[in-house]
Structure formats: C-alpha cells, structure tokens
Amino acid sequence: MRIDVVSIFPEYLAPLDLSLVGKARRAGLLDVRVHDLRDWTTDRHRTVDDAPLGGGAGMVMRPDVWGEALDGLVEQGTELVLPTPSGERFTQRTAERMAATGHVVVACGRYEGIDARVADHYRERGVRVTEVSLGDYVLNGGEVAALVLVEAVARLLPGVVGNPQSLVEESHGAAGLLEYPVFTRPPVWRDLPAPPVLLSGHHAKVERWRRDQSLRRTALRRPDLLQQVPLHELDRDDRHVLEDLGWTFDERDGAVPPG
Ligand code: JB8
C-alpha cells in the first residue's frame, strides 16, 4: 500500500514515523511519502495561494500548483482524497475501501481550501476523487485528516495489527454497534469492583453481558448507529435489552428510539 501526502506543512506529518504506523513503514508493509507542495512552485516567493474570485475573506489554494504536484503523483487506479469540512464523512467503510486500493494521494488544503477545479479536473480524467470530512467541526487544514486516514487505513493492512481478532471485535466493525467496556486487574480498584460476571469463568454469560453492554451503549450514545442495524440481526435477548430502554421494533422502520 502506498500513500502520498501533499502539504505546505510536511513537518505536521512527523507522527507517521511513530508507533504502529512507523513500524508498518519500516517493515515495508506501508509506503508513506510526505511531500512539500511548495516544491512544485516556480516563483521566487513559492506562492501557493491567491485571492478568492468573487471576493470574500481569506485566500484560496491555486489550481496550477496543485495540478503540477498531483500530475506527478496520481496514476491509473489512484484514489485522490481531499480533506474538507464540506466532504462526505470519513468512516470505517471509507478506510476499508482505501485499504483495498493500492494507492491513495491525500491533498491537504489550508486557508479557505483548494480551487474547486482541481477535484473536477481529476474526476474528468477518470480518477476516483473523494472529498472527506472527519466530523462536524472545522480544522485549520487537511493535515490532521491525513494523519487519521493513514492510521485508520494502515491498521487494516495484512500484518500491521499483531492479532487480527482485534480488528473484527472493534467498534465500527460490521456489527454496527459500539464496543463493550473493558476491565483488567485488580478486580477491585478504589472501591470499584469489576463486573463479577467477568470473573465467573462462564464464557456464554460473558458473551451475553458484552452484547448487552454494546447494545445499551449504542442505544444511549449513538442511536443513529442502532437505527441502521437490520432487525434480523437483533435476537430476542437483544430486543429485551432495548425494550427496557424504551425502544420499539417495526417491520418497516426497524429499531425505533424512544420519544
Ligand atoms: C482549509 O476541518 B477540516 C479541514 C479544514 C480546512 C481544510 C481542509 C480540511 C482546508 N481548512 O477537515
């Protein structure tokens, strides 16, 4: 897997040398290349921005500089990713698709963003172009989204995460539920006992308790996720847990939150 990141702040991507991502790179499982956009400027001042057409606050990144940079990096089969607050949500499904792609190029904007013709141009050339947002808040540029993307994608690559079971049991996996709470020793800490069922040695009871916890957490914190779960994936025990929280079930509407 290759990921190119283009930024006017390449030092911002320094954490990609660390931890699991750094290890994956050194192991040759992941080829991450960080580029300085200003390497593709040709003027004395290495200018990457200009005033917005139509007026308004701030500056816009010039399409000509981005075009020179991306022409040298985008190939047949590349997915071009542009972080922007007006993009589609970056989710675990997005990360999974990108991990299955051989090559991703991330174009990190700053200021008021990148001239919109850049995305249009590469789409017209048949490139898959994805404008992505991490969530409903505004950052100063695309670099943090690039860090998130690389980490989320890298850990899905074969051999990067030591125990592949930790990939399937996680929040935002296929089940569409949040993860259950986890505990370790000591069994009592500052007067707080761990749930006794986890020390019972009764595997089936542990599994049921964890499922209940996942359902309760998802219902209370992320009802939007639970509403997406197909009814046939909720068994009688599941429905009892949710009914206690005021949820109902309908052939057409699926799981319906209280109120
Ligand atoms: C200028 O919030 B963000 C984001 C914000 C940005 C740019 C890119 C992404 C470019 N501001 O994800």
Neighbouring-strand partners of residue 161? none
Question: 224 with 136, same domain?
Answer: no
72 and 125 in one domain? yes
DSSP-assigned letter for residue 141: S
pLDDT in tens, 153-194: 999 999 999 887 878 767 787 789 999 999 999 999 999 999
Q: Which of 139, 144, 148 to mutate to test the pocket of ligand 1 (most atoms within 8 A of CB)?
A: 139
**In this model, does residue 111 exceed pLDDT 90?**
yes
Same domain, yes or no, for 148 and 235?
A: no
Residue 169: per-residue pLDDT: 67
pLDDT computed for residue 170 by the predictor: 76
Distance 84 CA to ligand 1 centre (A): 5
Q: Is 134 in the pocket of ligand 1 (CB under 6 A)?
A: yes
User: Same domain, yes or no, for 198 and 115?
Assistant: no
Smallest CA-to-CA distance from 105 within 74, 148, 60 is with: 74
What is each CA distance from 235 to 162, 175, 208, 227, 231, in whole angstroms?
Answer: 32, 13, 11, 15, 8
Residue 204 and residue 132 share a domain: no
Is 37 part of any domain?
yes
Residue 249 backbone dihedrals phi, psi, to 5 degrees: -130, 135
**Do 131 and 244 have their domain in common?**
no
So what's the pLDDT on residue 175? 87
Distance CA 255, CA 228 (A): 8
Range of the domain at 228: 188-256
Q: What is the predicted pLDDT for the residue at 198?
A: 98
| Cα 177 from Cα 122, distance rounded (Å) | 36
Q: For the segment 47-104, what is each residue's pLDDT rounded down to a tens digit?
A: 999 999 999 999 999 999 999 999 999 999 999 999 999 999 999 999 999 999 999 9
Residue 26 within any structural domain of the chain? yes
Residue 228, in any domain of the structure: yes
Q: In the chain, how many domains are there? A: 2
Ligand 1 within 6 A of 63 CB?
Answer: no
Residue 102's domain is classified under what CATH number?
3.40.1280.10
Considering the domain boundaries, does residue 169 fall inside one? no
